[in-house]
Amino acid sequence: MRRERFDKMNVVPFIDIVLVLLVIVLATATFVTNQTVNVDLPTASSKKAEEKKSIAISVDKEGKYYYNKDELPLDAIKEKLMKLDPKKDLISLHMDKTSQFQFFVNIIDILKTKGFENISIITKK
């Protein structure tokens, strides 16, 4: 019995396997949404907790303003918003769909004057 000499290697099946693995990796990589880095933070004796406030401002269809479910006039809401930190605090606006657009503009004007960066407008699907 005579053996054949091994001169060439067929790489086509290897390329097929690599391409299938590449497709699997790319398909599963699109479903990864967690983009945080897990870090074990060191401790310090002068620890200060960062306080983020989440403020809900609502306007009903009659034009009544609410600050965290407390009914307040617009001037009182403006005073409370001026005391907050515009870079840290989160503001969410809940507007009735039948309310006048001017009520929305009044709140946005106050937030723009103070320079708030974290504003969300709450809607339903």
pLDDT in tens, 64-118: 888 888 888 999 988 988 888 888 888 888 888 888 889 889 998 988 888 888 8
Residue range 35-54, pLDDT digits in tens: 555 555 556 666 555 556 78
| 1 vs 115, residue with greater confidence | 115
Q: How many CA atoms lie within 13 A of 6 on its CB side?
A: 2
| Domains of the chain by residue range | 54-122
Q: Could you say which DSSP state residue 31 is in?
A: T
**Full DSSP string of 109-124:** HHHHHHT---EEEE--
Interatomic CA distance for residues 44 and 24, integer angstroms: 44
User: What six digits make up the tokens of 77?
Assistant: 């809401």
Question: Which pLDDT does position 87 carry in this prediction?
Answer: 83
CATH architecture of 54-122: 2-Layer Sandwich (3.30)
- Note the pTM of the prediction, 2 decimals: 0.55
- Sequence-distant (≥ 6) Cβ neighbours of residue 62 within 8 angstroms: 99
